[in-house]
Amino acid sequence: MTDSVSATPEQNAAPAAAVAPAAAPAQAPRARGGRRGSRGGQGRRPEGAAPAAASSGSQAAPARAPRTHPLLEQLAAWYPRLFGAEFLPLKRGIFQDLLDAHADAIDKEALKLALSIHTRSTRYLTAVAAGLQRHDLQGQPVEAMAPEHVHHALLEVFRRRQQRGGEDLAPKLRNRIVQAFEASGLTRDQYAELVRGRDEKANALLDEALAEAAARAAKDEALLRAFEASGQSAEAFADMYGMPARQVGQTLERARRRRAPGA
């Protein structure tokens, strides 16, 4: 598959489930210009021409919008572990927690918009895609990230990366999906039912990843059985097969976890 997969709008919003959807900010009113030109078009700037420098006493041009919502800068000062240089996934209900903690300093609608911007940023989605736990205002992990949120964040992060460059990222994304699936502790059917959406390219990549995970699991199980039948230590077994001892140890441990009750 050479094309990047993209998530549906519903999928893209999944990692941002900690906050309610925000209304779009109102469009700023258009600044009034100078005196209107004549009906023939005199006084109008030709399309594509640079604007003339403002003369002294004329109305100043509106200031450029800040790079981020100003409230996000304040949140970073209050909670640097959550909103600082590194982002952490936010617990469900963090919106109300912030309102309760700063009732006199935060406007509800401004907070709604700020958190909407924050949780849809690539940096935040990358933290979600990594499978990090959700954190409270004290920066403490309080709950695991839902597998479907991890999956849809992966799709969106890779979609954005694909748009920035020409490299085919599908193989890397497929491998990340395999890792996310194995970390979820779900069966293949459970995982597929949970994360499958309406994007056919994303669904096809999901099927490829789950098939790859099944093949990997079969190889791991075969190696574990061969190790158990050999009666050798892990180091001697790895040497016999010409494999790095660390790789053999990781493979055997992975196979044992799959055998565990409830796995």
| Residue pLDDT tens, the chain, 263 long | 433 333 333 333 344 433 333 333 334 334 344 444 444 444 444 444 444 434 344 445 445 444 478 999 999 999 999 999 999 999 999 999 999 999 999 999 999 999 999 999 999 999 999 999 999 999 999 999 999 999 999 999 999 999 888 788 999 999 999 999 999 989 999 999 999 999 999 999 999 999 999 999 999 999 999 999 999 999 999 999 899 999 999 999 989 988 877 65
Enter the tokens of residue 250. Answer: 């990781």
In a domain, 8, yes or no: no
Cα gap 170→155, rounded to integer Å: 10
Tally of structural domains, the chain = 2
My answer on whether 185 and 254 are in the same domain is: yes
My answer on whether 160 and 77 are in the same domain is: no
CATH of the domain at 79: 1.10.1710.10
My answer on whether 76 and 97 are in the same domain is: yes
Dihedral angle of Cα 167, 172, 173, 179, to the nearest 10 degrees = -170
Domain stops at, among 145, 169, 202: 145
Asked if 16 and 7 count as a contact pair (C-beta separation under 8 A), the reply is no
Domain stops at, among 85, 113, 145: 145
Domain stops at, among 124, 145, 166: 145
Cα gap 202→19, rounded to integer Å: 25
In a domain, 19, yes or no: no
Cα gap 189→33, rounded to integer Å: 62
- What is the model's pTM? 0.69
In a domain, 103, yes or no: yes
My answer on whether 99 and 182 are in the same domain is: no
End-to-end CA distance of the chain: 31
In a domain, 139, yes or no: yes
Range of the domain at 106: 69-145
Residue 87, SS3 per DSSP: strand
In a domain, 99, yes or no: yes
Give strand ranges (E) for the chain.
Answer: 134-135, 141-143
My answer on whether 248 and 222 are in the same domain is: yes
* Half-sphere exposure of residue 215: CA atoms within 13 angstroms, side-chain side: 8
Amino acid 180 reads: A
My answer on whether 225 and 138 are in the same domain is: no
